[in-house]
Structure 1
C-alpha cells in the first residue's frame, strides 16, 4: 500500500477538488487515458498501464500522444471518453497553467505529470493537475526498505541533477522521508541556482545545499538517501567530471545508505548504479518509481482503492521488457 503522512490517502484527498468523475457504468465503457509529450519512443508507461488495466479487467486504454504541438492538449483532454492523462517532457511545467487547479505537491515541485478529473457542484468536469513522480520516489524507498525511516530521519540526503525529476526527488525526501537537509550536485551551477530559487518561491521549507567541490563534500556529513536523476552518459565536460568526483566522495563514506537511480534507459544498470553498488550501497532500479507513480495515477483515474492493485505481474512484465532492450 502506498504510504502517506496525511490523515487520508491519495484517493480520498482527491475529492477535495470535486466529486467522483465516474458513474455506475464507467468501468464497463472503453474510456481512454493518454500520455502527452515528446519524444515518447522510450517510454514504458503504455506497457505499464496496459498491464494494470488488464489486471483490473477494465476496458480502458492508455496511448502515447507524441507531439510538439502543445495546442492539442486541451482538446484531447476534454474529449468525452477521456478520464485523465499523463504529462511528460517538455510539457510538465507549461500545462500547469491550463488545468483548473494544481495540487499542493504540484505547486511546490513546479511541475505536473498527471491530470485527473473531478466534478464540480453543477456536474461539470474539473481538470486537476498533480505530480505523482514524488510518490514514486517515496514509495520506492518505503516499499523496498521498510525500516528506511529509522535511518533517514534527521539525516542528510543527496539529489543528483537539475531537472524536473530532481525537484520531485527533493520534495519526496523532504516531505515524507525525514531528510534534514538536501545536498544538490549537478554539472551546471546555474541549474542548481534555478532549482533552489524556484522551490523556495513555491513554498518549499527544507534546507538545500549546493555541493560544488570534493573538498566541500569531504567536510559534510554523508547522506543516507541518494537519488540520481541524470541520463546515463559518462562524464566528459569539466562540470560533469567534478560532479562525478563529488558523488564518488559521498559514496566512499564509511556509513552506507540507500540509492535510487531513476535512469533506466537504455539499460537499467547504469554506470552510476554500478559505482554505487560496488561502493556497498543498496541500490534501486529506476523502474521502481516509474511503477509506483503509475499506480498513483491509476488510483486517481479509476477511483479504486490501493488494495485493488497487484504489482507482481506489473513488475514482471516491465522486467521482461527491459531484458529485451
Structure 2
C-alpha cells in the first residue's frame, strides 16, 4: 500500500483527503491511500515518518510550510526561491521539498490575464504570498506588497490611493480575511475605485465568493477564488510523487 498524506495543525477542514479519495475512486487507482496527519509540533515529523515507512509523499499546510524545510534533504529551485514547501516527495531515501502552490496559482491565473493586467497588489506577506510573488516575477508582472503596517518591503492599506488602485489592476488576496466563518471581513481597500478593468483573485475558496470578491464583482471586475488553484496544486503534487 502506497501511503500519501497531509501534515499541518489543526486539520479539521482538509480539502486534500477528500480530493484524493475521490481521485483514487474516479480514476481506479489501486493500492494507494491518502490520510490526514495532524501534528501539533513540526518536531513530531521524524516520528511520523518512522511510523509510516511506506510514505511516498506528503502535502504540507499551515503552519509548517516554512518550518518543515529544515527537515528536508533537498529543495526544488522554486521551493528554495519561494522559501516555502507544501509538497514532499520521498525518493531513494531522500526527502525533497517542492512548492505546488506556485504551480496551481500560475495555471489558474494565466487564462484570466489580459494585457492591461500589468501591475499587481499582493495583500498579505505570509507564506502563501511568497508563492504568489514568485509567479508574478516569472510572469514579469511588477507588484507591491500590502500589509497592515508599512515596512521596508510593503506599503500599508492606508497608502492605497485612487491612482495606485487605477494602475494596479490585478489584486491578489493571500490573507485569511473573509474566510469562513468570518465571511463579512475583507481587506481594507478603497473598493469604490475598482472598475471592470480589475482582476481580483482570492486564495480563499470557502466561501466561494468572499466579501473581497463580491465588492469587485459589484463594480464589474473579473473575480476568481482559490478552489481551482487548490485542485491544480494537488494534481501537481500527484505528478511529482509519480513522475519525478
Q: TM bucket by the smaller chain? A: 0.7 to 0.9
Q: TM-score, normalised by structure 2?
A: 0.86
Deviation at 1:52, TM superposition (A): 2.0
Deviation at 1:216, TM superposition (A): 4.9
Deviation at 1:43, TM superposition (A): 2.1
Establish whether residue 300 from structure 1 lines up as the match of residue 240 from structure 2: yes
| Cα distance in 1 for residues equivalent to 2:27 and 2:87 | 20
Classify the secondary structure of the residue corresponding to 1:41: coil
Contact 1:36 1:86 in 2 (8 A): yes
Stretches of 4+ aligned residues off by more than 4 angstroms: 213-216
Q: TM-score, normalised by structure 1?
A: 0.66
Aligned to 2:126: 163
Aligned to 1:111: 84
C-alpha change, 1:70 and 1:212, in structure 2 (3 Å) is closer
Aligned length: 236
Question: 1:261-315: CA deviations, max 9, x gaps?
Answer: 11123x22111111111121111122111111111101011229xxxxxxxxxxx
Contact 2:39 2:45 in 1 (8 A): no
| Cα distance in 1 for residues equivalent to 2:107 and 2:46 | 31
Larger C-alpha radius of gyration, 1 or 2? Answer: 1
Which residue of 142, 150, 156 maps to 1:212?
156
Deviation at 1:151, TM superposition (A): 4.1
Structure of higher RCO (CA pairs closer than 8 Å, 6+ residues apart): 1
Aligned to 2:105: 137
Establish whether residue 173 from structure 1 lines up as the match of residue 113 from structure 2: no
Contact 2:116 2:197 in 1 (8 A): no
Deviation at 1:81, TM superposition (A): 1.3
Aligned to 2:65: 92
Establish whether residue 258 from structure 1 lines up as the match of residue 199 from structure 2: yes
Unaligned 5+ runs, structure 1: 1-29, 120-124, 197-209, 305-325
Aligned to 2:16: 45
C-alpha change, 1:254 and 1:261, in structure 2 (3 Å) is closer
C-alpha change, 1:118 and 1:215, in structure 2 (3 Å) is closer
Which residue of 146, 150, 169 maps to 1:224?
169
Deviation at 1:102, TM superposition (A): 1.0
Contact 1:140 1:288 in 2 (8 A): yes
Aligned to 1:122: none
| Cα distance in 1 for residues equivalent to 2:159 and 2:147 | 16
Establish whether residue 283 from structure 1 lines up as the match of residue 228 from structure 2: no
Higher helix share: 1
| Cα distance in 2 for residues equivalent to 1:115 and 1:98 | 10
Aligned to 1:68: 40
Question: 1:35-69: CA deviations, max 9, x gaps?
Answer: 11101111211111222222332231111111203
Higher strand share: 2
Contact 1:149 1:178 in 2 (8 A): no
